[in-house]
Structure 1
Amino acid sequence: MEEGIRVVIADDHPFTRYGLRMLLESDPGITVVAEACDGREAVRHVLEFHPDVVVMDVKMPNGDGLWATQEIQRARPGTKILVHSEYEADPNVMAAMRAGASGFLLKAGDVTQITRAVRDVAAGAWIFHLSDTARMRPWFDQLRTARRDGAFPQLTTREREILNIIAIPKQTTHTAAARLGISHKRVENALTDIKTKLGATDRADLIALARAAGLGVQP
């Protein structure tokens, strides 16, 4: 059976958390694994429960949504953040997107969209609720490129090259070795080091982290 999407809800209003839980768990493919009332608790829950998606309020005590997004992306960059904000023009929303969030929805919007948004974000889509999406699309393209180029600073240039190739669909360690003109053994050794540096459990986890960060493009 396919494993469902694991979600953490982070919001300082208990009624909002309750409503989000009811909406999300009406979808049999989504499971709310934890709720957080502030930013620090959100980070702790992500580290403990390893959710696929965090539905993140922006304005919370003890570490707001922007701070929590930055910390989560630093600790577990494969986690998708869906910002849930009251105001479209809130500068913290754009800052959260720059920090690594994958989208945002307005709290005053159609609440029935939340389950679809969570599913889309978990699948790698960008979700945003803006009045002029065409105007913002180039900004998001630039953001995606900037995030990819700045991803995983702990890796060497060669390790990033290898990881980028491995994250491309249908590419293997043999094709990575051929593309880079190095031995297959060197690629395998590099992948072992990369997994250790990124805290990945296996090859599939490593590829998921790479694609979430924007890698997996033709060099």
Structure 2
Amino acid sequence: MTAPIRVVIADDHAFARYGIRALLEGDPTITVVAEASTGKQAVQQVLECHPDVIVMDVRMPDGDGIWATREIQRVRPQTKVLVHSSFEQDPNVMAAMRAGACGFLVKDDDETQLPRAIHAAASGAWIVSLSDTARMRPWFDQLATARRENAFPQLTPREREILNILAMPRQTTRSTANRLGISTKRVVNAINDIKTKLGVTEHDDLITMARQAGLGTHT
């Protein structure tokens, strides 16, 4: 049986956290492992509990949701950040996506969207739920570019270049080395360093993570 999706709820309003928890606890495929009321607490809970997804408010004290999203993507990029806010202003959407969030939901939307969005986020999908999605279409290419350019800030430029090539279809360690004009050993050493920094051990998991972040589509 598949393990439940582990979720942290980050919101500075206790009533909001209670409502989200009550909603999610009705879904046996999701388990809430922790709550946070500030940005710094959100980052700490991610480090301690290793959730699959964090439901993140934007406006919180002691480090807002945008800062917390960026920090979580730096220290534990395996955790997907789903921004959940009352504020629908476009700058918040773009800021969240640039910080590394995989989705944005408005709190006033149909509450049944949240569990579905959590499942989608855990699988690596993007979620943008706004009352007027048509006006967001010109932004989607910008979001994809921003997400790719800001992925894995803990990597050096050379490591990101190697990971980007590896994430392309039909690329191997040898072909990556040939493409960059370096030895295969240097690529292998770089891959080991990348795995250590991103907290993964399996090559397939590394490639999946890279592709979910938008790498592997451009040279």
What TM-score, normalized by structure 1, do the two folds share?
A: 0.86
1:1-219 matches, within 5 Å, as: 1-89=1-89, 91-168=91-168, 171-177=171-177, 179-180=179-180, 182-217=182-217, 219=219
**Contact 2:86 / 2:107 at 8 angstroms: preserved in 1?**
yes
**Contact 1:7 / 1:30 at 8 angstroms: preserved in 2?**
yes
Question: CA–CA distance in 2 between the matches of 1:28 and 1:174?
Answer: 44
Question: CA–CA distance in 1 between the matches of 2:194 and 2:213?
Answer: 14
Question: CA–CA distance in 2 between the matches of 1:105 and 1:156?
Answer: 32
Root-mean-square deviation over aligned CA pairs? 2.4
Q: Structure 1 residue 160: deviation in Å?
A: 2.3
Segment of structure 1 superposing worse, 132-141 or 200-209? 200-209
Question: CA–CA distance in 2 between the matches of 1:138 and 1:180?
Answer: 34
**For residues 7 and 95 of structure 1, do their structure 2 counterparts lie closer, same or farther at Cα, with a shift above 3 Å needed?**
same
What percentage of residue pairs aligned between the two structures are identical? 70
Q: Number of aligned residue pairs: give it.
A: 219
Q: Structure 1 residue 89: deviation in Å?
A: 2.0
Question: CA–CA distance in 2 between the matches of 1:53 and 1:217?
Answer: 25
**Contact 1:78 / 1:208 at 8 angstroms: preserved in 2?**
no
- The residue matched to 1:214 in structure 2 has which SS? coil
Structure 2: which 5+ residue stretches go unaligned?
A: none
Question: CA–CA distance in 2 between the matches of 1:151 and 1:52?
Answer: 17
**Contact 1:7 / 1:34 at 8 angstroms: preserved in 2?**
yes
